[in-house]
Amino acid sequence: MQSFLLVLLAFSLFHSIQSESKCPEGSFQGVNGKCYKGINQLKTWHQAEVDCYLTGGHLASVTDTFTNAFISSVAKNVSITAADYWLGGTSNYVNGSWAWSNFDQFKYTNWIKGPLNNTIGYCLSQLTSNTLWASESCANEKPYVCEYSQIPCAPAPCPPGWFYANALQKCYLYQNSGAITWNDALTYCQNINSSLASIHSLGENIMMSGGCVYLAPALGTSNWHVRACNNQTGMNGFICEVAAQNQTVTAPPNVFVCPNGTTNGNANGKCYQTFDQPNTWYQAEANCYASGGHLASITDPTMNTYLAGLASGNFHSDDYWLGAAQYFDGSYSWMDDYSFNYTFWAPGQPSNSTGYCLTQSIDDGAWIASDCTMTKPYICEYIQALQARCPATIPCQADLLGISTWLFSDSTEKCYLV
């Protein structure tokens, strides 16, 4: 019985922290491991893509019937009642052919019956009533569904099955093995790359001893005392403890970091990676998107100078691809859908021809419209990635019991009944 009580004590004093990945808040994990979030706000397709991108994702893409059905359920979960909502398909990027934002052609489709708009300027929506797809003008305003990858949580401090003592910053494994010699116990611990527990304080001693702790205020001291758990002599009361409702285990603050191999973009919250292998503009943008970004965009003179300097230190060509392409009406747009308000065109630019893409001259930073099928080096742009520990929610029985005499301690995040 005493060893059983000791195991319970271990569970009350320690909490286990698991290493895992999680979906961003408010999103739902699909069968493919991706996370989906329905947004019940009316935006154009490009505005919706910007919103998804700035929160770490893109408009949702669909590769199979299971994902198609799951996205429909996500939309209904946020009470989208519009006739349809935006997904990530568009005819804008690859010469009027339908593709997802990473330039992958459709491998699975679910179009409604009837003629399909295959000209530039149309985007894909999913019907709320039956999950079928429709081609709509990208300028229409609709709700939308974003797609995200799972966020990696900070590594757990202890191996699986071990328990972490936050106050002691140690990991413990309790083994109720029955009769065993000290040497055999030491050998077991050493075989799993650990050691027998050591004791350096009264608190650690109490955790290991299996005895029970009491306070004796009548003696004029707040010192702890230990006695046999079945000894009731002179004991006049007790203190109960439960965790506070909706309190969470304290976790490190969120940290935003650049992906490995990228350069922090001069405190603008973006990260950049240079690629000296020449590619067409289409393939370069597809490569950037496949790794979680886009071709680089420029929104002010500081960034224009910064990227020209980054390119001059890494490329041996005269220019390189940026992330803007020309639409059928002759206008230019960044692929991450930032506003195209700032420009730095070279004299005589842009070309009056259509179907061109944007390059930057490494020599002076000026912009030039170039044939998108030419091969050039390029710079990818990424948003800084979130790395966070997943906090565990702990319910508080005090409020559930409705007992007003329970007291909450801010320092321990626990409730006490005296």
Burial class from Cβ neighbours inside 10 Å (0-12, 13-18, 19+) for residue 33 reads exposed
pLDDT tens readout for residues 264-276: 876 567 889 999 9
For residue 158, give Cα distances in angstroms to 16, 128, 173, 251, 342. 8, 46, 10, 15, 51
pLDDT tens readout for residues 245-264: 443 444 445 556 777 788 88
C-alpha to C-alpha distance for 90 and 263, rounded to whole angstroms: 31
The CATH number of 256-386, from 3.30.930.10, 3.90.1150.10, 3.30.70.1350, 3.10.100.10, is: 3.10.100.10
Nearest to 28 by CA among 146, 144, 126: 146
pLDDT above 50 (res 47): yes
Position 399 scores a pLDDT of: 36
pLDDT tens readout for residues 371-406: 888 899 999 998 876 554 444 433 334 333 333 344
Q: Which residues contact 288 (CB under 8 A, 6 or more apart)?
A: 294, 295, 323, 378, 380, 381
Which of 331-341 are b and which e, b meaning 16 or more Cβ less than 10 Å from the residue's Cβ? Answer: ebbbbbbbeee
Which of the pair, 347 or 166, is modelled with greater confidence? 347
Please report, to the nearest 10 degrees, the dihedral formed by the alpha carbons of residues 252, 393, 401, 8 taken in order.
-90
CB contact at 8 A, 377 and 276: yes
Q: Could you tell me what percentage of the chain is helix, strand and coil, using 3-state DSSP and rounding each to the nearest 5?
A: 20, 30, 50
Least confident of 6-15, 64-73, 126-135, 299-308: 6-15
Position 87 scores a pLDDT of: 95
Helices 202-209 and 2-13, packing angle to 10 deg: 140
Position 224 scores a pLDDT of: 62
Q: Is the dihedral of CA 337, 343, 346, 351 positive or negative?
A: positive
Please state whether the peptide bond connecting residue 155 to the residue before it is cis, i.e. omega within 30 degrees of 0.
no
What DSSP letter does each residue of 171-203 carry, written as one string?
EE------S--HHHHHHHHHHTT-------SHH
CATH 3.10.100.10 maps onto the chain at 21-151, 256-386
Q: Which residues contact 53 (CB under 8 A, 6 or more apart)?
A: 294, 336, 337, 383
| Average pLDDT of span 231-240 | 59
- Fold category of 21-151 in CATH: Mannose-Binding Protein A; Chain A (3.10.100)
CB contact at 8 A, 343 and 334: no
Q: Would the pTM count as exceeding 0.75?
A: no
**For all residues of the chain together, what is the average pLDDT?**
74
Give the pair of three-digit tokens for residue 231.
């000894």
pLDDT above 60 (res 126): yes
Please give the radius of gyration of the chain, using alpha carbons only, rounded to the nearest integer.
30
pLDDT above 80 (res 280): yes
Burial class from Cβ neighbours inside 10 Å (0-12, 13-18, 19+) for residue 51 reads middle
pLDDT above 90 (res 154): no
| Average pLDDT of span 152-157 | 68
Q: Residue 205 — φ and ψ, nearest 5°? A: -60, -40
For residue 207, give Cα distances in angstroms to 12, 126, 193, 210, 223. 11, 58, 22, 7, 16
Helix H or strand E segment including 356? strand 356-361
What DSSP letter does each residue of 363-417 carry, written as one string?
TT--EEEEETTS-EEEEEEEEPEEEB--PPEE--HHHHHT-TT-EEETTTTEEEE
Which of the pair, 413 or 76, is modelled with greater confidence? 76
Nearest to 407 by CA among 187, 242, 250, 161: 242
- 3-class secondary structure, 45: helix
Position 99 scores a pLDDT of: 84
